[in-house]
């Protein structure tokens, strides 16, 4: 199922604050703000209306504003609970105990939840916002580069609704922003080394290592593109320390190369060994997170640079 992320839209709020100016009590001439001879007082205070956004949750909140003018601007960064996920007439949420949507500032987003059979769903993708009034969300699968277009129907400080047509089916998603204080904090990503299945709120503590299944998106040897010779190339890292590098060349030849790996987080290296030849190469881990793994190594003067996307 396609997933989604970072959004902006307009909404409205209001409140009222009075601003007053008082006369100088030392003024020798009586004024409407001074106490008169009969000890009565007249009030000449005036109120000032300042238009602007009065919602503290908005990106454009103006603490001096006293009257809403519809300029409040919201984004969807944060944690949402998906309450409706209709694909045609079928509500996908019925298969879940809970389903959360984490939208991050870096342009990535994740849908994560626990199904009624006790298994977990975890899906990552990236997003960009386009269109008039930022009303279109492009959800992109980082492994395939394929994007799906969503229309942002409504978004405010605590509610989000989007629609799309996927594979001929109308899809409607509604979500409510939730307070993380009411959830169990921890790492919710099953791909992370410190995943905790009892947590319901991702607090950013996830730590990642190599184990997982990756599609190689870039494989450079010096200035040469190794990947150009392949229809596809995958690298699977298993929990028992073994690996499989497998794919298919453009001539139709299928390859499977067994190996092992050793991850050393202390010095940021990943040692990959070809078990058929016994040759080991120590790679420097340039980046590793929930989506990407980027490594490089220099062997006999040749520079290897590999980028992979977790699937």
Mean pLDDT, range 133-139, rounded to an integer:
80
Most confident region among 12-21, 197-206, 258-267 by mean pLDDT? 258-267
2, 150, 197, 230, 243 from 215: Cα distances, Å? 18, 26, 26, 12, 13
Last residue of a domain, one of 137, 171, 202: 202
Token pair 């190369």 is at which residue? 257
**Per-position DSSP letters for 5-51, written without gaps between them:** ---EEEE-------------TT-SS--TTS--TTS-----------E
Q: What percentage of the chain exceeds 90 in pLDDT? A: 31
Cα 246 from Cα 7, distance rounded (Å): 38
pLDDT band at residue 211 under the 50/70/90 scheme:
confident
The verdict on 179 and 235 lying in the same domain is: no
51, 62, 120, 257 from 12: Cα distances, Å? 11, 13, 38, 59
Of 242, 203, 230, 223, the C-alpha closest to 302 is: 223
Cα 70 from Cα 192, distance rounded (Å): 42
Q: Is the pTM of this model over 0.85?
A: no
Of 209, 216, 215, 219, the C-alpha closest to 303 is: 219
What confidence score (pLDDT) does residue 105 get?
A: 78
The verdict on 196 and 96 lying in the same domain is: yes
5 vs 43: which has the higher pLDDT: 43
Q: Is 137 inside a domain boundary? A: yes
Per residue in 23-44, pLDDT (tens digit) is 343 444 434 333 334 444 444 5
Last residue of a domain, one of 202, 220, 242: 202
Q: What is the CATH number of the domain that holds 91?
A: 2.40.128.280
User: Based on the number of CB atoms within 10 Å of its own CB, is 263 exposed (0-12), middle (13-18) or buried (19 or more)?
Assistant: middle
Per the CB < 8 A criterion, the answer to whether 48 and 65 are in contact is no
The verdict on 82 and 197 lying in the same domain is: yes
pLDDT band at residue 5 under the 50/70/90 scheme:
very low
The verdict on 92 and 189 lying in the same domain is: yes
pLDDT band at residue 3 under the 50/70/90 scheme:
very low
Q: Is 280 inside a domain boundary? A: yes
Last residue of a domain, one of 176, 202, 228: 202
Q: What is the CATH number of the domain that holds 276?
A: 2.40.128.20
Domain of residue 122: give its range: 76-202
What confidence score (pLDDT) does residue 164 get?
A: 94
- Of 76-85, 89-98, 287-296, minimum mean pLDDT range: 287-296
Of 80, 62, 82, 79, the C-alpha closest to 70 is: 62
How many structural domains is the chain composed of? 2
């Amino acid at each position: 199922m396609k997933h989604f992320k970072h959004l902006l839209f307009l909404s409205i709020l209001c409140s009222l604050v009075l601003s007053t100016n008082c006369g100088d009590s030392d003024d020798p001439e009586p004024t409407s703000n001074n106490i008169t001879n009969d000890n009565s007082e007249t009030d000449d205070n005036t109120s000032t209306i300042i238009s602007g956004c009065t919602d503290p949750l908005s990106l454009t909140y103006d603490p001096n504003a006293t009257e809403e003018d519809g300029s409040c601007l919201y984004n969807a960064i944060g944690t949402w609970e998906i309450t409706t996920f209709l694909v045609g007439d079928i509500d996908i949420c019925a298969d879940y105990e809970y389903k959360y949507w984490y939208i991050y500032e870096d342009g990535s987003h994740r849908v994560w939840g626990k199904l009624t059979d006790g298994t977990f769903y975890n899906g990552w993708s990236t997003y960009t916002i386009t269109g008039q009034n930022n009303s279109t969300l492009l959800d992109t699968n980082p492994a395939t580069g394929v994007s799906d277009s969503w229309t942002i129907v409504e978004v405010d400080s605590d509610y989000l609704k989007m629609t799309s047509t996927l594979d001929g089916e109308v899809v409607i998603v509604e979500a409510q922003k939730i307070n993380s204080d009411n959830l169990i904090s921890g790492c919710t990503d099953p791909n992370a080394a410190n995943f905790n299945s009892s947590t319901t709120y991702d607090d950013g503590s996830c730590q990642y290592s190599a184990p997982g299944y990756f599609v190689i998106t870039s494989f450079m040897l010096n200035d040469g593109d190794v990947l150009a010779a392949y229809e596809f190339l995958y690298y699977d890292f298993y929990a028992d320390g073994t690996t499989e590098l497998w794919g298919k060349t453009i001539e139709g030849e299928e390859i499977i190369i067994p190996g092992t790996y050793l991850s050393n987080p202390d010095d940021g290296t990943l040692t990959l060994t070809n078990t058929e030849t016994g040759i080991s190469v120590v790679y420097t881990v340039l980046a590793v997170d929930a989506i990407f793994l980027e490594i490089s190594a220099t062997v006999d003067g040749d520079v290897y640079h590999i980028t992979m996307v977790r699937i």
